[in-house]
Chains A and B, each alone.
Chain A
Amino acid sequence: MTVLEGLYHILEYIDHTISFRSSCRMSVCGSCAMHINGKYRLACNTQISSLKSDYVTVRPLLHLPVLKDLVVDHTAFFENLIALQPWLIEKEPPPRKEYLQTPKERKKLDVVADCIMCQACYASCPVAGTDNQYFGPHAFLKALRFVNDSRDGASLERLQEVAGSTGVFRCHTIFNCQDVCPKHLDPAGAIAKLKMAITLNQFKGKLKAKK
């Protein structure tokens, strides 16, 4: 039995008033991240038996206002993304068919594009906890996803944005995000790559030094 199945059993047969978000129950929609027995995880892919404990303690995600029980207000989490223009900005006008992209170029999108926006990394990040303007690990992963995309033409703009005062240089490299990601992605690694790209471009004079 998974934690989510347990929560549904409680909702259906024990306490009809309990509130939690859920949808796909197959770890792809990102609805049901919460704090379970000491760690941020998805309720749907956490087997209760794997917790090896007589008690399961569930808490809502940190750093986001609790609306009710396990439901938090994720407005800030999603709004932080928008400043990073999280959509493809074409390098050149679209061809009649598809943009050509080699498997090698496509490989650079593996992992970085797999994020399900579940907020586990955000809740585990102490920097996000002290400043809700801080973009957050998820946003940096998303930024790198576009910086890495051979079809995108706005790398420098994107780097400039994440080099700012609420950007990657605020990261304390604590690696919680890497540790908790239920999809085994690496936001901390993404932050490191962005920092390197920013620094390199500053050396080359392509980016202004951060304010």
Chain B
Amino acid sequence: MNIHHDILVVGGGLAGLRAALQAKFAGADVALISKVHPLRSHSGAAEGGINAPLANNPEGKDDNPEAHAYDTVKGADFLADQDAVDILTGDAPEIIYETEHWGCPYSRYENGKIAQRYFGGGRYPRTCYAADRTGHFLMHTLYEQALKHRLKIYEEWMCLALAVEDKTCKGLIAYDVRTGSLVPMSAKAVIMGTGGHGRIYQNTTNAHINTGLAMSIAYWAGVPLKDIEFVQFHPTSLARTNILLTEGCRGEGAYLINKDGERFMKKYVSEKVMELAPRDIVSRSIMTEIEQGRGIDNAYVYLDMRHLGQKKIDEKLPGTRELCLEFINLDPVKDPIPIQPGQHYTMGGIDTNSWGETKMPGFYAAGECACISVHGGNRLGGNALLETLVFGKRAGQRASEFVKQKSNPSSPKALESALRKLQLQQQELHKGKGTENHFDIKNQLAQLMVEKAGIFRTQKDLLEGKAKLKELKARAKNLAPVTQEKRFNFDFIFAMELQGNLEISEAIFEAALARKESRAAHYRKDFLKRDDQNWLKHVLVKWSLEGPQLCSEPVKIIRYQPEERKY
């Protein structure tokens, strides 16, 4: 007997929970599956804040959704779809108030309103924050609502395949991590809110769970990936560990300095903007300093917060101080922090419209795994948490309407065939004809992506990377037998995820090779200029047996015509 829910949400982070709650509010039969307990989701690691033009900060009194939209579009290097950006910024105040009404403990001003700070690429202080644990508080707030509304959650269940018939989504095959069984789950609509692919990069700030597998599941099922060549590197990840240190540090006034003690950002952007340029620009500036010999140990520069003083650091950035003390035994009150850029965010993802709909009826996506696109070539800090809630809610809303209005009859046949395929795959992994360790392949892939598809890119590097990837793919067909254990078999889970890692990486190389220009986070040393004539468009990558197929779609430009992106 298959499990059936009209709507299945995959992913227990902010996007997934917000989508599921919306479906619940709409009266739909909805359940959520998550490969970890929802509170362990990576949304909880977000630190600095969430953007909304509330105009609470006196310096932001003229802020408004249009200003927020323009900053977002300019930050995106004009690759964002402006209709979707208008929704993002227009819905922002309401969605912040909603989380506040649910109890999210935002930091406050004396007048009782939500506190807001400056973030990179924003002309006004519009990033609402709760100390530097905003993601943690939002995560717990949404989970509390899930408990309140008795949301059905299949905990530690992961999605391993979609069931598709007549190009329509009919459900999914789940893997129950606790028992090791493959469970067909029928649904009229599936919503993915599974986060990014950060772990395919060795230097990522992301959690171990962010492997991007769900993205590749959609990709294999025929849904294209959009803007996948755009990968964000956060300027300030902690030395050695690549643990995130929030942009809020710079928002509160921290400096970036090189080994000569120079605030080097003045060489790259205007004195007014300095450390608060968008992330792609700051990351490139740091890498340039390091490459030109002005880094520390040829690997880092310093994030200096000493002048902020202990009181301000403890009040506004307590988590940052704690991380430095715990992980590198350094007190930022007394010493500058060695940092380096680290992979942080997946701008690209599953191709959706602004309702989270994909081109496959019955299949939706929201949050980091999706690409609408509101972030274009570079996401602004504080816009990711916002995106999860705004578009999670919309996807939940639209899916609820879909299951009410359309019949989308269930298809035992589609589930059966998806299940059969996975069972075969599982058997093959357990049999394992070869000798390769899939963890080793994963680790080598992660190194390769940093070296060949990182902050600076060239045709030569990308081609070498692609060739090396082909070797890794071949090795991945020759794995040693994977553990047979039923319960909590991470050997099997990571072996499955490797297949997705390789697939997403291949799509990144293809799209990055194709885009012969430099735009925001995609920086080609061999094509230094932005080329609107040829490349003001989204690249879509479609899976096929012969390898990735590329096509393109126009960018929706409404109010803001592309102009030179200067800060």
Contact = CB atoms under 8 A, between A and B. Distances in A.
Interface of A: 2, 8, 11-13, 16-19, 21-31, 45, 47, 67-69, 71, 74, 78, 81-82, 85-88, 90, 94, 96-103, 105-106, 109-110, 113-114, 116-117, 146, 149, 151-152
Nearest to B329: A47
B181 interface: no
Interface string B110-121: 111110000000
B207 A23 contact: yes
B147 A82 contact: yes
Nearest to A182: B326
B147 A102 contact: no
Contacts of A19: 485, 487-490
A28 B147 contact: no
Shortest Cβ-Cβ A-B pairs, 9 listed:
A100-B112, A88-B103, A12-B439, A19-B488, A87-B144, A16-B491, A94-B101, A87-B148, A23-B40
Contact of B439 (A11, A25, A45): A11
B178 interface: yes
A100 B105 contact: no
A109 B97 contact: no
25 contacts: A12-B443, A16-B439, A16-B491, A17-B485, A19-B487, A24-B40, A24-B207, A25-B207, A29-B207, A30-B39, A30-B40, A31-B36, A31-B40, A67-B488, A68-B487, A86-B147, A87-B102, A98-B97, A98-B100, A98-B112, A106-B105, A106-B106, A106-B107, A113-B105, A151-B103
A71 B180 CA distance: 14
Interface of B: 36-37, 39-42, 44-45, 54, 93, 96-97, 100-103, 105-114, 131, 133, 135-137, 140, 144-145, 147-148, 178, 207-209, 241, 243-244, 319, 322-323, 326-327, 329, 437, 439-440, 443, 482-483, 485, 487-491
B101 A67 contact: no
Given A28-B133, A100-B113, 7 more contacts: A8-B208, A13-B440, A28-B44, A28-B319, A31-B36, A88-B102, A97-B97
Contacts of A2: 327
Contacts of A16: 439, 482-483, 490-491
Contacts, number: 155
Nearest to A4: B208
B244 A26 contact: yes
Given A90-B101, A106-B108, A28 B489 contact: no
A90 B101 CA distance: 8
Contacts of A86: 144, 147
Contacts of B327: 2, 26, 45
Interface centre among A17, A81, A85 (most CB of B within 10 A): A17
B144 A88 contact: yes
A103 B40 contact: no
B473 to A, nearest CB: 19
A33 to B, nearest CB: 11
B437 A152 contact: no
Contacts of B54: 97
A90 B443 CA distance: 49
A45 B309 CA distance: 25
Contacts of B103: 87-88, 146, 149, 151-152
B44 A24 contact: yes
B491 A17 contact: yes
A23 B482 CA distance: 22
Interface centre among A12, A21, A98 (most CB of B within 10 A): A98
Contact of A100 (B41, B111, B440, B490): B111
A98 B114 contact: yes
Contacts of B131: 110
B126 to A, nearest CB: 15
Contact of A29 (B40, B109, B243, B485): B40
B326 A27 contact: yes
A100 B131 CA distance: 17
Contacts of B106: 98, 106
B430 to A, nearest CB: 12
B44 A29 contact: yes
Given A29-B45, A45-B327, A21 B101 contact: no
Given A13-B439, A24-B207, A103 B487 contact: no
Given A101-B112, A114-B133, A26 B105 contact: no
Contacts of A82: 147
Nearest to B439: A12
A26 B490 CA distance: 20
A17 B483 contact: yes
A89 B243 CA distance: 35
Contact of B108 (A24, A78, A103, A152): A103
A115 to B, nearest CB: 8
Given A11-B439, A88-B144, A94-B101, A68 B36 contact: no
A26 B40 contact: no
A140 to B, nearest CB: 16
B97 A94 contact: yes
A62 to B, nearest CB: 19
A143 B129 CA distance: 23
A103 B482 CA distance: 54
A97 B128 CA distance: 14
Contacts of A94: 97, 101
B502 to A, nearest CB: 17
Contacts of A23: 36, 40-42, 207-209
B255 to A, nearest CB: 23
A24 B45 contact: yes
